[in-house]
Amino acid sequence: MLPPTLPTTPAMELTLDEAAQGVLRRHHVQVLGAGRPLLFCNGFNCTQQVWHYLAPMLAGHYQLIFFDQMGVGKSEYATYDPPRYATLAGYAQDVVAICQALQLCEVVLVGHSAGATVAMLAAIQAPDRITTTVLLNMSPYFLNEPGYYGGFERADLLQVLAEMHANYVQWASTFATMLVGQSAAPVLSHELVTYATQVHPALAAQVVEQAFLGDFRPLLPQVRVPTLLLQCHDDPAVPEEASAYLLAHLPCATLVTLAASGHAPHLTNPAEVAAAINAFLAGGSAVQPMRSPEAA
């Protein structure tokens, strides 16, 4: 659950037509507060609860909107449409549908990892509604190629995916520990495992493969909205070269390298993430990295 001191409003309680209520029910949409809308797009196979450390730090300034992607958490898997979710573009269509259902404008779309890729795709689909993106630990392409460093050789990445297919829960546990970093509190890797295993097994591996094997570099010039890129030190999944590539190829991007390490700064150092988002949305020209707890 998100913090009890920050009660969300079930989308069904809002005054919406039946079609809009159906969209929001399918994704267990929750709304918190008022102000400019921040819509959070979870990382691979994570539920909306993954934002619960960050939410209190932003709730006083913005309207926060959370949802579960299809097949994850409390989403309605009975409405799963295989052709729609054959690519990450289908998940981006869901984000746009949520914006339409809530009649949102001037949306800041905050995405993490594969969710950041989904956020980018949604911004391309609906620039009239999504006017800013915040992309945490995003890679446009995970594989190494001549002239491009994504961090993984194809053979190594295929081995990672084979291990995932063999035993997803065990793989998720090992992978989560790696992503948050060995120096992070064990409870954080346990949390990430908990979120990443609340997913329908038919979709878990499919989403990871779409993210790891997809090449989204050709789409970068189509992202015309201001974008904040947040990169961590020693991210085991996204090297700094990948963020540098994003900075060079996104038309309106700002890159902030956080003091936090690992792949999940919204878990390990939410205060630093909140400060970077606030400074960017306030029009700050520079964001000073904060010292991460594990560096203390």
Contact (CB, 8 A) for 113 and 211:
yes
70-107 burial code (b ≥16 CB/10 A, e <16): bbbbebeeeeeeeeebeebbbbbbbbbbbbebbebeeb
Contact (CB, 8 A) for 260 and 269:
yes
Distance from C-alpha of 63 to C-alpha of 126, rounded to nearest angstrom: 19
Question: Choosing from 27, 28, 112, 235, which is the catalytic residue?
Answer: 235
- Residue 263 is among the residues annotated as catalytic for this protein: yes
User: Nearest-CA neighbor of 235 among 123, 116, 126?
Assistant: 116
User: Nearest-CA neighbor of 237 among 118, 116, 126?
Assistant: 116
Distance from C-alpha of 41 to C-alpha of 135, rounded to nearest angstrom: 10
Distance from C-alpha of 108 to C-alpha of 111, rounded to nearest angstrom: 10
Fill in the amino acid letter for 117: T
Fill in the amino acid letter for 245: Y
3-class secondary structure, 89:
helix
What torsion, rounded to 10 degrees, do the Cα atoms 155, 156, 162, 166 define? Answer: 150
Question: Choosing from 113, 189, 261, 292, which is the catalytic residue?
Answer: 113
Distance from C-alpha of 269 to C-alpha of 277, rounded to nearest angstrom: 13
- Residue 261 is among the residues annotated as catalytic for this protein: no
Contact (CB, 8 A) for 171 and 163:
yes
Residue 287 burial by Cβ neighbours in a 10 Å radius (0-12, 13-18, 19+): buried
Question: Choosing from 27, 52, 263, 266, which is the catalytic residue?
Answer: 263
Task: Show which residues are catalytic.
Answer: 113, 235, 263
